[in-house]
Structure formats: C-alpha cells, structure tokens
Amino acid sequence: QVQLVESGGGLVQAGGSLRLSCAASGNIFTINPMGWYRQAPGKQRELVAIITSIGSTNYADSVKGRFTIVRGTAKNTVYLQMNSLKPEDTAVYYCNLVARDMTYWGKGTLVTVSS
C-alpha cells in the first residue's frame, strides 16, 4: 500500500505564492510519475502539473509560467511552487502517484486565493 500526504495549503492574497509538498510512503521502491490535480467547488478534478520518473514535466495551460513542479531529494517527494496566484486557483489540491498500474491519491490540501 502507498500513502500520500500533502501539505502547504492555506489562504493567500491574489498575486501571492504558496508551495505545496507531497510525500509518498509505503510499499514503493522506485521513482514514479507523480502529479498535482485540483478540484474547485462544483467542478471536476483537473490536472495541474505532472512529472515523470525521468523528470519531464507537463502543465495545464492555465498555470504555465506560474506554477512549477519539482522533485525533492527524498524519493517520491514532489513540490508545487505556485506564484502569481489568482482567485480562480482556489481549489483543493491533490497529489497523485502512479505505480504498478495503480494510481494513488492523497487527501488533498485546500488553497484559497482572495481577491
């Protein structure tokens, strides 16, 4: 079993920054693709950013140039640096990890951007 724990969410004014963290633990011994998704109230969960096992990244158009996903030094740890935040970035942010054809999710961390 694999567990993911996110942290770093909170309340920030528009134009501000936050850094989200996600750490995976459990029965996992390789570097795996990981990603950040978000779900705003009344909307479907959507991709924010992903990073492959070899470090390639991809971003949603809405966050390109503002958000950066990076791996930490610990295996299967990722960060999402969010700059120039907008009210429309308000959502619960979820971390995920893909391993052995299964997708694992964290419980999410709330990001609220005030105007």
pLDDT in tens, the chain (115 residues): 899 999 999 999 999 999 999 999 988 888 889 999 999 999 999 999 999 999 999 999 999 999 999 999 888 899 999 999 999 999 999 999 998 889 999 999 999 999 9
What is the per-residue pLDDT for 60? 98
Report the C-alpha gap between 20 and 35 in whole angstroms: 12
Q: Report whether 20 contacts 108 (CB < 8 A).
A: no
* Residue 85 near residue 14, CB atoms below 8 Å: yes
C-alpha to C-alpha distance for 40 and 46, rounded to whole angstroms: 9
CA atoms within a 13 Å half-sphere pointing along the CA-CB vector of 32 = 23
Bridge partners (DSSP) of residue 19 are: 81
**How far is the C-alpha of 86 from the C-alpha of 41, rounded, in Å?**
15
